[in-house]
Structure 1
Amino acid sequence: MSLLPLDKLPGPLPATTTLGPLRSPSRTRHALRALSLLPLLLVAAWAALDWRTVYDGAAQLASADPWWLLSAFFFMCMGWVAAACVRQGALPERLPPGLLLASQVAAGTANHVLPASIGAHAVTLRFLQRQGISLTRGTASLALYSLVKPLAKTLILLVFLVFFPGVLGLDELVPDERTMHLITGGVAIGLAVAALLLTFVRPLRRPILKFVRTALTDARILHTRPSRILALWGGAAATPLLQAGVIASVGFALGLPLTWAQVTFALLVASTAVGAVPAPGGIGPIDAALVFTMVLFGAPMSLATATIIGYRVLTIWVPLLPGMLVLSWLVQRRVL
């Protein structure tokens, strides 16, 4: 059977013989552009809803010492570097430093939008997947990150208790017996629920056990590498100290009559006491706890409140627009 040459065919092939619908490149570009503009719309909406806080904080910072505010801005930027170090320390693979730092700037912005660090973890997990890290290993690194940070903060808190026992005035901050019972009961209930799920819900057993094995294997490998140990634990220990440096610098700029050790210990106590409350970026519960603790240390209520408002303006609203622009750029470059 002979085949007709191409120029003798009766006409063009019908459209129904094509392999299938192809995605238009222009549609993909438009979708990416719209997705990159979404964070900017969120900034505008949030500014409209929380305008009073921004205005009051800006008014307080306008009369503050500019050099102390510059110091606070430096500590805030170093917080992104510390977060990038912890993220790298939680993975055996080497990540591109520049993109990793950019992802943490974007993650810090997303963290202020969603509660319980969901935004930061979502951005980081997407970044890791785009770098070729599997979902299981990426999730394991997030779990290690989330575990090491409170452990390091607890160690820093213990160091402060040892070296500054008399300066900090701990009598008012020690939890009573009822609070300790509530904490113990909450931990016991959480462990019991996890055990029941693993025992009776079989579809969850295999992925959870696989996740646990991956997490333990990676943790063991990471702790055989000095560079990863330094990045993981050093960055986690530096994070609360840098955050306290921001608060102390803002307070000193406004004339807060507390020492750096008192401000740092106030942050450690406040974040430990209410850190489990799922608020976006810790906004709300930690703010109230910080004001309460600083007042116990001898700061006037008005000045402690002004310090926290200024701190929130400096750490949320000042980097929010640049952070959203970085997030949009990463989306456009398909890094996220």
Structure 2
Amino acid sequence: MSATESLPITAGRRLYVQLGITLVVLAAAGGMLVAHRATLDSGTDRLAAADGEWLVLACLAAMATWVCAAVAQQGAVTERLPRRRLVAVQFAAGAANHLLPAGAGATAVNLRFLKRCGLSTRRSATALAAKAAVGGIVRCALGVALLVASPGTVGLSARVPHRVILLLPVAAGTVVLAVAVSGRLRRVLGRALTDVRKVHRCRARACALWGGSVAFALLHAGVVVAVVHAVGLGLPTSRVVVAYLVASGAAALLPTPGGLGSLDAALALALTATGAPGPAAVSAVLGYRLLTGWLPMVPGLLVLALLARRSAL
């Protein structure tokens, strides 16, 4: 069997593994919901009586995240992309992201869009990887900055097991070792770095990439903050932002569609660690999910179908 013929088999196996992990995580999340049904019911009732003005503010912040995602995506390429279509693609990608594991939905939508705009498959993949890498760096930097600027948030990090903290440098070292050993990875990384350097030579593109990523992370955290205030939780804003950053980083380790189950559990646990009662933390998570995932789902899929019909994807 040739290398070309083995590629579909490898991709198929990888998809089956991701789907298997997704089903396990979703089953575990469903079991947790059944076990804590009373807490879920209480959280739902509390969300139903939430402050409407704060919820409107959270909704506006959620809508602004699509614009920030579009700005960051434009910053990852040197070519000029159609603005309105780019924002629409980010909206549609958010809906597709809740259907496939590990962000595969959003990646596939953006990849097809960039290829339709004239970029090669390699350069499109590099742009998406650069955007994802910058997003991860931004979240880590924001978390560290908040921990340094607000010592009171250390109470949250102190409850994180030391094993989890030790795993971070181990994982980073493993990635570096894999790149150093594999010649193919070095070549791929070298080509990717060349494209990234081209983007950063243009100040406007670099500012769009990094500024859009910072705004995207802060606006998602802002949705959580607004929902927390809507349900009447008196938690400091800095602790809520750190809780979101920690939860989103932990949820990225589990390849579930849109972080379903993994992000919910991690965010509820993080908010509880900041001092929120269980039902209140559940209501905040439900509100965040409602505004960023469930309500935009059907409109996003309709936009996705419209873009595909107009050959934009």
Same fold (TM over 0.5): yes
1:173 and 1:240, CA in 2 relative to 1: closer, same or farther beyond 3 A? Answer: farther
**Matched length:** 278
In structure 1, the partner of 2:159 is: 173
Task: Give yes or no for contact 1:172–1:296 (8 Å, CA) kept in 2.
Answer: no
Matched, 1:330 2:310: no
CA-CA distance at 1:268 after TM superposition: 1.0
Q: Using the alignment, how far apart are the partners of 1:134 and 1:315 within structure 2? A: 31
Task: Give yes or no for contact 2:74–2:209 (8 Å, CA) kept in 1.
Answer: yes
Q: Using the alignment, how far apart are the partners of 2:239 and 2:275 within structure 1? A: 10
Kindly provide the CA deviation profile for residues 70-127 of structure 1, in whole angstroms up to 9, marking residues without a partner as x.
1011000110011001100000000000000000000111111112111101000000
In structure 1, the partner of 2:131 is: 145
Cα RMSD of the aligned pairs, angstroms, is 2.5
Kindly provide the CA deviation profile for residues 275-305 of structure 1, in whole angstroms up to 9, marking residues without a partner as x.
2211111121222121122112111111001
Q: Using the alignment, how far apart are the partners of 2:89 and 2:204 within structure 1? A: 21
Kindly provide the CA deviation profile for residues 162-187 of structure 1, in whole angstroms up to 9, marking residues without a partner as x.
211125524533541x3344444434
Task: Give yes or no for contact 1:270–1:289 (8 Å, CA) kept in 2.
Answer: yes
SS of the equivalent of 1:312 reads helix
CA-CA distance at 1:249 after TM superposition: 1.1
In structure 2, the partner of 1:273 is: 250
Residue of structure 2 aligned with 1:221, choices 167, 180, 198 = 198
Q: Using the alignment, how far apart are the partners of 1:332 and 1:58 within structure 2? A: 38
In structure 2, the partner of 1:244 is: 221
Structure with the greater alpha carbon radius of gyration: 1
Kindly provide the amino acid, as one letter, of the partner of residue 84 in structure 1. A
Q: Using the alignment, how far apart are the partners of 1:330 and 1:173 within structure 2? A: 45
1:275 and 1:247, CA in 2 relative to 1: closer, same or farther beyond 3 A? Answer: same
1:1-336 to structure 2, matched below 5 A, reads 60-170=46-156, 172-176=158-162, 178-196=163-181, 198-199=182-183, 205=184, 211-336=188-313
CA-CA distance at 1:191 after TM superposition: 4.1
Kindly provide the amino acid, as one letter, of the partner of residue 282 in structure 2. T
Task: Give yes or no for contact 2:156–2:239 (8 Å, CA) kept in 1.
Answer: no
Identity %: 42
Kindly provide the amino acid, as one letter, of the partner of residue 221 in structure 1. K
With normalisation by structure 1, the TM-score equals: 0.76
Between Structure 1 and Structure 2, which shows a larger proportion of helix residues?
2
CA-CA distance at 1:316 after TM superposition: 1.2
